[in-house]
């Protein structure tokens, strides 16, 4: 059981690192169109619910910053975003 817990933690941390890198390289540098693309790609391959909520939040912010308010609201109002 301890082995499984360690593996789950490592996998979680890797996902967190991937998402943080995407946010750092795009959103924080105000490259919002690139952020939309990269976060959407990330969401296609990451099932972790906590990380999906974080990704939805930054996806919503990025859509807002490129002037797509309706798409931004779609992601910002999702249940997972508030988790």
pLDDT of residue 37: 96
pLDDT of residue 7: 46
Who wins on pLDDT, 51 or 4?
Answer: 51
pLDDT above 60: residue 6: no
Distance CA 18, CA 25 (A): 11
Q: For residue 58, give Cα distances in angstroms to 5, 7, 27, 39.
A: 28, 27, 7, 8
CB of 75 closer than 8 Å to CB of 60: yes
């Amino acid at each position: 059981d301890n082995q499984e817990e360690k593996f789950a933690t490592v996998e979680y941390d890797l996902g967190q690192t991937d998402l943080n890198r995407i946010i750092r390289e795009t959103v924080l540098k105000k490259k919002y169109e690139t952020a939309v693309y990269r976060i959407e790609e990330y969401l296609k391959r990451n099932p972790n619910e906590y990380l999906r909520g974080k990704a939805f939040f930054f996806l919503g912010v990025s859509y807002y910053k490129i002037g797509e308010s309706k798409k931004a609201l779609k992601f910002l109002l999702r249940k997972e975003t508030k988790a």
